[in-house]
């Protein structure tokens, strides 16, 4: 049935919602695509549903094409499978959990690895059943710490998740590659620019993974690219380790008074004015070793103090740090934490009081007979801090630092950690040149999981020789609702949305202006004819609404083509076809308008990107 605007469940807003910071969020609410229900939780209105259904249809077609079979799980799930894989704990506060009337633990699924593994285990018993790919398009729940930007980071959101099952590593590689190809086809068809980047596996476990990032200044992910083709999420960037340095000429450590040096810059200035370097070179921030105390919150709630040492000219990047210590979460150390470790003098922490160098360090044997180090706080270093490098750092006494403290000669650490910020111009780990930093929205993520879930849930199949083999798996997600927001970000201007036709809620909007009955009759007939021809048409039939408001609404809604029937009908016998995306306007005779609009819409649909590479 032809949808008229006077009866449509659409109420546009002139004002941006108070809680919205990014364009997609503001416009999707103002144009009546979504409404907020609770923080990070949105209700889909008819326009929003129309768009999300089109995105889903493209995802579904490509998943079917690559051999996936669709299933649909409940969102409300029993806890046991998630307890078996430890994720009940590892997900921590991000998991929405609840109990039934009998006290049984349940959760609202944040993702479904466990359930797919169990389902496949239930149905498959032989290598002949594999390979297999199952998928669903379903609502997920995560109590995100920082729900943000509308649909971009929701607490309820729509995800396409798929899972591959194979007997051997070669099979997994092939399944992974088929998914990767399907993802490229999906993002191409959506017309959404994407960059596949190396990623960290994070709480998901597993070996190899890539993210599909949509480059955008509002993205929460920082990623890097080198001119030589390296691309990675900043979290996954590894630091090329420099060769160790000959420190035989380096002076012995020298403890010096450094009052009033609250910042690295003030410390460097004081060193240059009071303790000039013997070789005449200036001290710089890169000569200082900054030791940052953080608390790791392990999955069972256990707190561990950790000191991270980085060159003083770099910040600790909390996202890189969190990725490096996952599934533990990270907090800054509190005053209480410092009280439990009086050897840590805030502002003057040096390697001598921590890690293997600490006089408090003991070796003990745990219940399993393993040797563990206790007593002092664990100390991990940025990989650039190699043997022989010399540092200005805290002396573990108020208002004192130490010069010429040499790694390997004067101090050691418990290991290295990738936690320092990545900077523009840093070198790619694969030797492909300097890195450029960009921001992106993560719209998809593919993981070669391996055997972690199958192992934990006892999923084996019999191979050719009748031997039980643990199945190897992949898991693959696309944030369908986040994709919709990313498309809105990429396709809007200051007046509103401007959808690409393959995801637009309607193909064309017919708009009648003025009061002339003939105008409304012509517009209505045109809208009906287009609708009957199979086009998706929205007809703005509102009577007492000014042309200005109608134009503003039409631009806000972002339907690709608008046909304006107005003054020119009586004067010239013409109507105007407007292209929302290019801004192009063209007058056509009313008599041939229907044919013109059909041809225009059909041409746009044909010109929409296919899945093939350009």
106, 79 contact by CB (below 8 A): yes
**Maximum distance among all Cα pairs of the chain, rounded to whole angstroms:** 96
**Minimum separation from the CB atom of position 142 to ligand ATP (A):** 5
**Minimum separation from the CB atom of position 157 to ligand ATP (A):** 4
200 binds ligand ATP (CB under 6 A): no
DSSP track, 202-260: GGG--SEEEEEEEE-TT-SEEEEEETTS-EEEGGGPPPPPPPP---TTSPPPEEEE-TT
444 binds ligand ATP (CB under 6 A): yes
Q: With contacts defined by CB under 6 A, name the span among 248-256, 305-313, 449-457, 479-487 that binds ligand ATP.
A: 479-487
Torsion of CA 58, 60, 62, 64, to 10 degrees: -150
55 binds ligand ATP (CB under 6 A): no
Q: Which is nearer to ligand ATP, 167 or 321 (CB)?
A: 321
Give the DSSP H or E segment for 156. strand 156-166
Contacts of 88 (CB under 8 A, 6+ apart): 79, 82, 95, 97, 105, 107
Q: Which is nearer to ligand ATP, 148 or 409 (CB)?
A: 148
Q: Which is nearer to ligand ATP, 320 or 482 (CB)?
A: 482
Q: Which of 12, 33, 48, 26 is nearest to 494 (CA)?
A: 26
Which one among 289, 443, 454, 526 touches ligand ATP, defined by CB under 6 A?
443
Q: Which is nearer to ligand ATP, 297 or 377 (CB)?
A: 297
Residue span 110-129 as binding mask against ligand ATP, x where in contact by CB under 6 A, dash where not? -x------------------
SS3 471: coil
Q: Which is nearer to ligand ATP, 90 or 287 (CB)?
A: 90
**Minimum separation from the CB atom of position 443 to ligand ATP (A):** 5
Considering only residues 156 to 185 of the shown chain, the ones binding ligand ATP according to CB under 6 A are: 157, 159
Half-sphere exposure for 383 (CA within 13 Å, toward CB): 13
* DSSP code of residue 343: T
Considering only residues 134 to 153 of the shown chain, the ones binding ligand ATP according to CB under 6 A are: 142, 144, 153
Crossing angle for the helix pair 480-490 and 46-65, nearest 10 degrees? 110
328, 298 contact by CB (below 8 A): yes
Q: Checking DSSP bridges between strand 574-579 and strand 585-589, what pairing results, if any?
A: antiparallel
How many residues touch ligand ATP under the rule CB under 6 A: the total is 15
Which one among 179, 314, 404, 445 touches ligand ATP, defined by CB under 6 A?
445
Residues in the chain: 614
Distance CA 257, CA 398 (A): 9
Q: Which is nearer to ligand ATP, 48 or 444 (CB)?
A: 444
- Buried/exposed 510-528: b ≥16 CB within 10 Å, e otherwise: bbbbeeeeebbebbbebbe
**Minimum separation from the CB atom of position 285 to ligand ATP (A):** 31
Which one among 150, 154, 206, 505 touches ligand ATP, defined by CB under 6 A?
154
What is the dihedral sign for C-alpha 329, 74, 65, 175?
positive
* DSSP code of residue 387: T
Which one among 311, 351, 479, 505 touches ligand ATP, defined by CB under 6 A?
479
Q: With contacts defined by CB under 6 A, name the span among 46-54, 290-298, 347-355, 438-446 that binds ligand ATP.
A: 438-446
**Minimum separation from the CB atom of position 475 to ligand ATP (A):** 8
Distance CA 462, CA 109 (A): 30
Q: Which is nearer to ligand ATP, 320 or 378 (CB)?
A: 320
Contacts of 532 (CB under 8 A, 6+ apart): none
Torsion of CA 560, 565, 568, 572, to 10 degrees: 100
Give Cα separations from 297 to 93, 200, 302, 356 (angstroms): 11, 19, 6, 22
Distance CA 499, CA 470 (A): 46
Which one among 225, 341, 482, 578 touches ligand ATP, defined by CB under 6 A?
482
Q: With contacts defined by CB under 6 A, name the span among 27-35, 257-265, 440-448, 556-564 that binds ligand ATP.
A: 440-448
Distance CA 598, CA 600 (A): 5
Q: With contacts defined by CB under 6 A, name the span among 30-38, 345-353, 398-406, 443-451 that binds ligand ATP.
A: 443-451
Distance CA 256, CA 271 (A): 9
Which one among 92, 150, 474, 477 touches ligand ATP, defined by CB under 6 A?
477
Q: Closest-CB residue for ligand ATP?
A: 479
Distance CA 91, CA 473 (A): 20
Q: Which is nearer to ligand ATP, 163 or 391 (CB)?
A: 163
**Minimum separation from the CB atom of position 339 to ligand ATP (A):** 34
* DSSP code of residue 342: T
Which one among 62, 414, 442, 489 touches ligand ATP, defined by CB under 6 A?
442
Q: Which is nearer to ligand ATP, 87 or 290 (CB)?
A: 87
Q: Which of 88, 91, 96 is nearest to 41 (CA)?
A: 96
Distance CA 310, CA 486 (A): 35
Q: Which is nearer to ligand ATP, 130 or 484 (CB)?
A: 484
Q: Which is nearer to ligand ATP, 351 or 479 (CB)?
A: 479
Q: Which is nearer to ligand ATP, 171 or 206 (CB)?
A: 206
Q: Which is nearer to ligand ATP, 146 or 370 (CB)?
A: 146
Q: Which is nearer to ligand ATP, 218 or 597 (CB)?
A: 218
**Minimum separation from the CB atom of position 578 to ligand ATP (A):** 33
**Minimum separation from the CB atom of position 248 to ligand ATP (A):** 46
Residue span 75-114 as binding mask against ligand ATP, x where in contact by CB under 6 A, dash where not? ------------------------------------x---
Question: Which residues would be at the binding site for ligand ATP (CB under 6 A)?
Answer: 111, 142, 144, 153-154, 157, 159, 442-445, 477, 479, 481-482
């Amino acid at each position: 049935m032809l949808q008229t605007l006077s009866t449509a469940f659409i109420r546009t807003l002139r004002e941006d919602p108070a809680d919205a910071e990014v364009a997609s969020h503001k416009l999707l609410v103002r144009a009546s695509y979504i409404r907020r229900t609770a923080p990070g939780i949105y209700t889909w209105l008819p326009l929003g549903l129309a768009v999300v259904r089109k995105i889903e249809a493209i995802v579904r077609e490509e998943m079917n094409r690559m051999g996936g079979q669709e299933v649909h799980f409940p969102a409300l799930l029993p806890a046991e499978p998630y307890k078996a894989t430890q994720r009940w704990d590892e997900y921590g506060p991000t998991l929405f959990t609840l109990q039934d009337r009998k006290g049984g633990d349940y959760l609202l699924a944040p993702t479904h690895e466990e359930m797919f593994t169990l389902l496949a285990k239930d149905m498959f018993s032989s290598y002949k059943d594999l390979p297999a790919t199952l998928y669903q398009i379903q609502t997920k729940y995560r109590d995100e710490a920082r729900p943000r930007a509308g649909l971009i980071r929701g607490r309820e959101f729509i995800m396409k998740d798929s899972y591959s099952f194979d007997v051997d590593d070669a099979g997994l590689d092939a399944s992974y590659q088929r998914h990767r190809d399907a993802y490229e086809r999906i993002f191409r068809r959506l017309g959404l620019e994407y960059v596949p980047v190396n990623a960290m596996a994070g709480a998901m476990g597993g070996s190899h993974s890539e993210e599909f990032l949509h480059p955008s200044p509002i993205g929460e992910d920082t990623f890097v690219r080198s001119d030589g083709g390296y691309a990675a999420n900043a979290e996954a960037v590894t630091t090329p380790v420099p060769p160790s340095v000959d420190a035989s000429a380096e002076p012995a450590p020298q403890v010096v008074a450094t009052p009033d040096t609250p910042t690295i810059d003030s410390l460097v200035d004081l060193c240059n004015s009071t303790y000039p370097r013997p070789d005449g070179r200036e001290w710089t921030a890169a000569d200082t070793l900054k030791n940052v105390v953080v608390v790791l919150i392990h999955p069972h709630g256990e707190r561990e103090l950790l000191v991270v040492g980085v060159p003083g000219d770099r910040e600790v990047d909390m996202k890189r740090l969190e990725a490096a210590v996952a599934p533990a979460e990270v907090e800054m150390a509190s005053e209480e934490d410092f009280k439990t470790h009086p050897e840590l003098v805030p502002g003057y922490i040096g390697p001598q009081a921590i890690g293997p160098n600490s006089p408090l360090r003991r070796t003990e044997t745990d219940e399993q007979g393993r040797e563990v180090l206790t007593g002092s706080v664990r100390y991990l270093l940025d990989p650039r801090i190699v043997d022989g490098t010399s540092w200005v750092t805290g002396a573990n006494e108020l208002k004192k630092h130490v010069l010429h403290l040499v790694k390997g000669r004067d101090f050691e650490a418990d290991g290295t950690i990738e936690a320092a910020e990545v900077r523009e111009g840093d070198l790619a780990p694969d030797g492909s040149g300097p890195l450029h930093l960009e921001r992106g929205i993560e719209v998809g993520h593919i993981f070669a999981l391996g055997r972690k879930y199958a192992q934990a849930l006892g999923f084996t199949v019999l191979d050719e020789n009748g031997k039980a083999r643990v199945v190897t798996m992949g898991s693959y997600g696309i944030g369908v609702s986040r994709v919709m927001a990313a498309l809105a970000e990429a396709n809007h201007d200051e007046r509103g949305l401007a959808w690409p036709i393959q995801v637009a809620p309607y193909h064309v909007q017919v708009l009648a202006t003025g009061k002339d009955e003939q105008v409304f009759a012509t517009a209505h007939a045109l809208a009906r004819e287009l609708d009957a021809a199979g086009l998706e048409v929205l007809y703005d039939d509102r009577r007492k609404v000014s042309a200005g408001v109608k134009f503003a609404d039409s631009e806000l809604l972002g339907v690709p083509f608008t046909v304006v029937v107005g003054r020119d009908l009586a004067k010239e016998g013409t109507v105007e076809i407007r292209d929302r995306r290019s801004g192009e306007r063209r007058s056509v005779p009313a008599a041939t308008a229907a044919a013109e609009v059909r041809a225009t819409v059909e041409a746009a649909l044909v010109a929409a990107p296919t899945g093939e590479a350009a």
